[in-house]
């Protein structure tokens, strides 16, 4: 028996004004319009951005990101989490559409868990990256926007992969994704070394994200820092980006500090008294002369 006959319920007029949401058919675009073309033409151009980075070094993988989620000029959330744990030894940075990133990371967590149950062990970082890129590549051209860096530790040691929603998969030592990535790359390229200590790696990641939030209008909030070790991932800290940048401005620049340390270790020899610009010859002597220079004759 139909619901209308039991409860005497009548469907509201979809054409009239109503404070309730439209039914499923009411969300369709006008007839004769392609949905993608209609949204591109009439939809608001919402700019979005972020700053995420990850790099591999001797003691594991560092992942850092800002916490500002924006939609155009509107800051939707100043304290969002852009580094998502996948399992105990795998993290992922998120850049792109927040809904797409969250959805696909839940799908990846499910698939990795099922593989672990079937095979008795978790897949490698390379296997997880290949699985994610294969799943997302099927939706190429449908405005899916996911750019992530998978950071993990497996049987081969620390590993880092970049995966994009069109199926791109790259392996490397340093990746930065988002609108603030050019500024972060400038700091990373200057201070990165594979044999860094743990504290040096923490300081480099914080400095890179803090400088990016200073120059990029769509990045800000705080700086989240994660460290993937052999024993698993660790949430290191969350620091206010503005306070962190102000503290970094008070510190001496690395190049000047290295020059000062080198100058103290190797002091310059003292200049001999009376030395001039004559190649070490004082008093204007020329090679072959044993006495003072002759005075010019006067008539």
The catalytic residues are: 50
Do residues 55 and 188 touch, judged by C-beta distance below 8 A?
yes
How far apart are alpha carbons 46 and 44 in whole angstroms?
Answer: 6
How far apart are alpha carbons 226 and 85 in whole angstroms?
Answer: 10
Q: Which of 167, 168, 247 is nearest to 211 (CA)?
A: 247
Please spell the DSSP secondary structure of 131-149, one letter per residue: HHHHHHHTTTTTT--EEEE
Q: Which of 154, 155, 170, 214 is nearest to 54 (CA)?
A: 170
> What are the C-alpha distances in Å from 259 to residues 182, 190, 299?
27, 16, 58
**How many angstroms from the chain centroid is the CA of residue 290?**
70
How far apart are alpha carbons 276 and 160 in whole angstroms?
Answer: 58
How far apart are alpha carbons 148 and 128 in whole angstroms?
Answer: 12
């Amino acid at each position: 028996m139909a619901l209308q006959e039991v409860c005497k319920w009548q469907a509201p007029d979809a054409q009239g004004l109503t404070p309730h949401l439209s039914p499923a058919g009411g969300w369709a675009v006008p007839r004769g319009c392609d949905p993608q073309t209609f949204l591109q033409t009439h939809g608001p151009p919402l700019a979005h951005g972020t700053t995420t980075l990850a790099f591999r070094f001797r003691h594991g993988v560092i992942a850092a990101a800002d916490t500002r989620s924006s939609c155009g000029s509107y800051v939707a959330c100043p304290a969002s989490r852009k580094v998502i744990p996948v399992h105990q030894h795998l993290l992922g940075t998120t850049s792109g559409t927040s809904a797409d990133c969250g959805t696909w990371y839940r799908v990846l967590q499910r698939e990795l868990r099922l593989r672990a149950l079937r095979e008795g062990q978790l897949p490698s970082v390379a296997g997880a990256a290949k699985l994610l890129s294969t799943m997302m590549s099927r939706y190429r051209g449908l405005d899916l926007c996911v750019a992530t860096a998978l950071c993990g530790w497996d049987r081969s040691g620390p590993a880092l992969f970049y995966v994009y929603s069109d199926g791109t998969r790259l392996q490397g030592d340093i990746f930065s994704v988002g609108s603030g990535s050019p500024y972060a790359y400038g700091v990373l390229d200057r201070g990165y070394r594979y044999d860094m200590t743990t504290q040096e790696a923490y300081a480099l990641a914080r400095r890179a994200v803090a400088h990016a939030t200073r120059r990029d209008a769509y990045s800000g909030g705080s700086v989240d820092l994660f460290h993937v070790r052999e024993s698993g991932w660790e949430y290191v800290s969350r620091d206010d980006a503005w306070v962190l940048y102000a503290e970094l401005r008070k510190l001496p620049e690395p190049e000047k500090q290295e020059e000062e340390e080198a100058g103290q270790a190797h002091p310059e020899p003292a200049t001999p008294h009376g030395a001039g610009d004559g190649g070490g010859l004082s008093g204007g002597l020329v090679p072959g002369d044993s006495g003072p220079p002759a005075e010019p004759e006067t008539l």
